[in-house]
Amino acid sequence: MNKAKKRVIPGFGLSMGVTLAILGLIVIIPLASLVLFTAQMDFSEIIEIITRKRVLASFYVSFITAFIASLINAVMGVILAWVLVRYDFPFKRVLDGMIELPFALPTAVAGIALTALTADTGAIGSFFEQFGIKIAYTRIGITVALIFIGIPFVVRSVQPVLEKLDYSYEEAAGVLGASKAKIFWKIIFPEIRPAIFTGFGLAFGRCIGEYGSVVFIAGNMPYETEITPLIIMSELQEYDYTSATAIALVMLLFSFAVLFAVNIVQARSTKILKGGNK
Amino acid sequence: MQENKKGSKAVKWILISICVIFVFFMLILPLITVITEALRSGWETYQKAVTDEYAIDAAGLTIEATVFAVLINTVFGIFASWAITKFPFRGKKLLTTIIDIPVTVSPIIAGLIFLLTFGRQSPIYPWLQDLGLQIVFAVPGIILATVFVTFPFISRELIPVMEAQGTEEEEAAALMGAGGFTIFRKITFPHIKWALLYGIVLCAARAMGEFGAVSVISGHLRGKTNTLPLHVEILFNEFQYVPAFAVSSLLVIMALIILIIRSIVEYRGKKA
């Protein structure tokens, strides 16, 4: 692609200029002000803030609920992608379209709808109530909201890979007498594994930072169901920008780490795809 | 094509059932809940809730922020993808990474950084005061936060399409003497129009529904800095469930329209 050519196409200066100007105003300056603000804080102060018991508890709640939700989405995502690619059935396109709903539906709306459904009086909540299981205002509720948010990620990253997968290997394995399960685990799964991981990582990153759908269903009990974004929010409402920034920093570093891991996996899998001779 | 044996037919229907049940409980049931809760006290209460003065103000601000987000990100998306895909330069990887940052950042943090940039403790705050510009807890802040959270939505759709198309056609046109704008309009644009439309739809959807970032920056002034999702929150927290769901139902309708447009655009894009 990047052959050293002379630039015959016009507009490099203009397009680059506009790009950098808007990028600077919207993204770089605001992020820089976060760095600037952090630079004014003492390191020991940051450590003190982020090791408060209530903050640590929120890290744990955010992490564990996002992790479980993304794990469930990874499994369901593969099944959904498989069904959508390999099978034909009535209303398949409706199902396919619905997958995108969490992207289109405002998170606050999803939040109050799920809360109404899973509260003691709701259709699902009252059913589980009989068994003594509470969903809304518990960590289960947070997980449910995060499952909703994360549904599209794994489906949409696995689907294109499954679509491109060559049938001939499966056929060959079938002719050689391999069982369906064996074909899936030995031939298909290794091919879609990087895509599953990418989808999982993206969903996980999104869930860690999710706020809108979770605040309503979480109940927001300190130590129990208080997620990290909510702690940042309540610090901000008390105009304690220092604490908010310190906690936000931890979240930022964590989500960059997740993104970095996803990028490494993606880079490796595109190398394999482009290498061709597998 | 694939040959299905009897056993795999059972597997097929089991898997389809799992998916349908999952999608029904996780996605469709919440939608139905919004509608039934909104209509619980009858049509008249519903009408009253959605034509409430505050609800209409909130809708106006939501539309305003969405329009700005779509416009700015469309301009950015076109210029950025043109620069990134048509020219070789150093630091391209870094540039695309920075463009993607906004979607990986928690909405709360997105709000926070604008608060730090333009709020009271910011070094430029006195200067903004002199100019009489109120950004935080005001409409400009809401617009900025909305633009931020939807920032890469359009460029991300355009870049792969323009990359796949290559640069040969544009080079030929340039060598024959066409100007930059003519090249874009006649050669590039027809290739990217579906991707662009798709990006705009995604951007509009997210902009309309943004909650966290806007919530941080708005200060929740009713009638002034309230968007539809924030209005829903206020109503819900005041235990006004029916109005909360009534306003939500408007957003559900918009979401469904967006989904329909999306599938049409995707279908057309695949055919083209």
Please give the ipTM for the structure prediction.
0.88
Give the H or E element holding residue B92. Answer: helix B92-104
What is the Cα–Cα distance from B219 to B221, expressed in whole angstroms? Answer: 6
What is the Cα–Cα distance from B82 to B89, expressed in whole angstroms? Answer: 12
**Is B11 in Cβ contact with A15 (below 8 Å)?**
no
CATH of the domain at A62: 1.10.3720.10
What pLDDT does B247 receive?
Answer: 93
Mean pLDDT for chain B overall: 89
Residue B2 identity (one-letter amino acid): Q
How many interchain CB pairs under 8 A, A with B?
A: 275
3-state secondary structure of A237: helix
A260 touches chain B (CB under 8 A): no
**Is B22 in Cβ contact with A109 (below 8 Å)?**
no
- Going by C-alpha positions, the residue among B108, B233, B210, B101 that lies closest to residue A58 is B108
What pLDDT does A270 receive?
Answer: 72
| Model pLDDT for residues B165-183, shown as the tens digit of each residue | 888 888 889 888 888 888 9
What pLDDT does A275 receive?
Answer: 56
3-state secondary structure of B136: coil
* Residue A265 half-sphere exposure toward CB, CA atoms < 13 A: 19
What is the Cα–Cα distance from A163 to A190, expressed in whole angstroms? Answer: 15
What pLDDT does A262 receive?
Answer: 87
Question: At CA B33, angle to CA B31 and CA B38, rounded to 5?
Answer: 105
Total number of domains in chain A? 1
DSSP letter at B224 equals: T
Residue keyed to tokens 């304690």:
A240
Please indicate, yes or no, if residue A27 is contained in any of the structural domains: no
How many angstroms separate the Cα of B145 from the Cα of each of A53, A100, A229, B110, B114?
A: 31, 23, 16, 7, 7
Q: Provide the Cα torsion B41, B42, B46, B47; round to 10°.
A: -140
A186's CB contacts (< 8 A; 6+ apart) are: A173, A178
Please indicate, yes or no, if residue A150 is contained in any of the structural domains: yes
- Going by C-alpha positions, the residue among B20, B155, B182, B147 that lies closest to residue B81 is B155
Please indicate, yes or no, if residue A48 is contained in any of the structural domains: yes
Q: Which among A30, A76, A80 is the nearest to B113, CB-wise?
A: A30
Domain range for A176 is 39-275
CB atoms near residue A278 (< 10 Å): 9
Residue ranges covered by each domain of chain B: 1-38, 42-271
Taking chain A (278 residues) in consecutive chunks of 10 residues, what is each chunk's mean pLDDT? 61 92 94 91 91 94 96 96 92 90 93 93 88 90 95 93 86 86 88 92 93 91 91 90 93 90 82 56
- Confidence tier at B1 by pLDDT (50, 70, 90): very low
| The CATH homologous superfamily of the domain defined by B42-271 | MetI-like (1.10.3720.10)
Residue B16 identity (one-letter amino acid): I
With contacts defined as CB-CB under 8 Å, which chain A residues touch B101?
Answer: 27, 31
With contacts defined as CB-CB under 8 Å, which chain A residues touch B210?
Answer: 106
What is the Cα–Cα distance from A87 to A103, expressed in whole angstroms? Answer: 25
With contacts defined as CB-CB under 8 Å, which chain B residues touch A216?
Answer: 233, 236
How distant is the Cα of A213 from the closest Cα of chain B, in angstroms?
A: 9
Q: Which among A98, A105, A233 is the nearest to B108, CB-wise?
A: A233
A146's CB contacts (< 8 A; 6+ apart) are: A65, A66, A69, A70, A207, A210, A213, A214
- Going by C-alpha positions, the residue among A213, A254, A235 that lies closest to residue A116 is A213
Residue A210 identity (one-letter amino acid): E
How distant is the Cα of B263 from the closest Cα of chain A, in angstroms?
A: 6
Helices (H), B210-240: 212-218, 228-237
**Does the pLDDT at position B142 exceed 80?**
yes
What pLDDT does A8 receive?
Answer: 80
| Model pLDDT for residues B45-75, shown as the tens digit of each residue | 999 988 999 999 999 999 999 999 999 999 9
* Residue B158 half-sphere exposure toward CB, CA atoms < 13 A: 30
The number of angstroms, rounded, from the C-alpha of B165 to the middle of its chain's C-alpha atoms is 26
Dihedral sign, Cα of residue B152, residue B157, residue B163, residue B166: negative
What pLDDT does B270 receive?
Answer: 73
What is the Cα–Cα distance from A208 to A214, expressed in whole angstroms? Answer: 11
With contacts defined as CB-CB under 8 Å, which chain B residues touch A208?
Answer: 106
How many angstroms separate the Cα of B167 from the Cα of each of A108, A129, B79?
A: 43, 62, 15
Both tokens assigned to B97: 């990474």
Cβ pair B38, B44 in contact under 8 A: no
- Helix-strand-coil percent breakdown of chain B, rounded to 5? 80, 0, 20
The number of angstroms, rounded, from the C-alpha of A66 to the middle of its chain's C-alpha atoms is 8
What is the Cα–Cα distance from A45 to A52, expressed in whole angstroms? Answer: 11
Q: Which among B28, B98, B167 is the nearest to A23, CB-wise?
A: B98
